[in-house]
Amino acid sequence: MTIKTIIFDFGGVITNSPIEGFKILEEKHGYDKGIITQINMNNSDNNAWAKSERGEIEINEFLSEFEKEALEIGQKIDAKEILNQLYGSFRENMINLIKLLSLSKEYKLICLTNVLKGVDTFTPKERLNAVNQVMSYFDKIYESYKLGMRKPENRIYKYILDDLNIKAEETVFLDDLGMNLKTARQIGIQTIKVEEEATAIIELNQILER
């Protein structure tokens, strides 16, 4: 079936993955390898990260709770440094593709991103301006904390389909996390796992050409 809507994740698709930043931080301070991601996965539906992305707690409470969660597994981590690693570099080829798709008006372009509530207060102004420029290419933006739900929750995908009045089989979704894609596939959305920027762009173009 012809694709009419393209949904893009932000971090890990339009920018390099925050996980790369986590690895740098772990090496810098000698944290256990993969420990930051591990903390995020522990009690993944109800930990500090999940609650903040659903907008249930403010950013300062997130910082405190995340540090407590780290201490519970024997790691002393400055959570503010974690926030600094969320700002991956922009993937210019992906952005250029999104811009071209926006200009063509052939597809409805959507950004679906998990966002920590209040993180903007820690975001440099120049970064916010750059992000806003990229976001201007989208027809609609969905940020998790504003919806009270987050990826990979099944309900967020159903909400977007209903809100936009679109069909799952006419939609393709790009994300860098398999768990986010799995839930989308279960309700019929086509998916692309973004690992290498160039490969993901080729795969998207192939789907759009069918």
Name residues whose C-beta falls within 8 Å of residue 56's C-beta, 6 or more positions apart in sequence: 117, 148
**Please, how many CA atoms are within 13 Å of residue 21, restricted to the half-sphere of its CB?**
15
In 3D space, the residue among 166, 156, 16, 189 whose CA is nearest the CA of residue 87 turns out to be 16
> Which mean pLDDT values do the consecutive 10-residue runs of the chain (210 residues) have?
95 94 91 91 94 98 96 92 91 98 97 97 94 98 98 98 98 97 98 97 94
Q: Provide the edge-to-edge strand list for the sheet that holds 5-8.
A: 140-143, 108-113, 5-8, 171-175, 190-193
Q: Please tell me the predicted confidence (pLDDT) of residue 118.
A: 97
pLDDT reported for residue 210: 79
Residue 52, helix vs strand vs coil? helix
What is the distance between the alpha carbons of residues 81 and 195, in angstroms, rounded to a whole number?
24
pLDDT at residue 160 in the model: 98
Could you say which of 3.40.50.2000, 3.40.50.1000, 3.30.413.10, 3.10.290.10 is the CATH number of the domain covering 5-17+88-209? 3.40.50.1000
Q: Which two tokens stand for residue 29?
A: 């301070």
Neighbours of 100 (CB within 10 A): 10
Measure the CA–CA gap between 118 and 62, rounded to whole angstroms.
Answer: 10
| pLDDT score, position 198 | 97
Question: Which segments of the chain belong to CATH 3.40.50.1000?
Answer: 5-17+88-209
Q: How many CB atoms lie within 10 A of CB 143?
A: 17
pTM of the model: 0.95
Positions of CATH 1.10.150 in the chain: 18-84
What's the topology of domain 18-84? DNA polymerase; domain 1 (1.10.150)
At 79 the pLDDT is 94
pLDDT of residue 97: 98
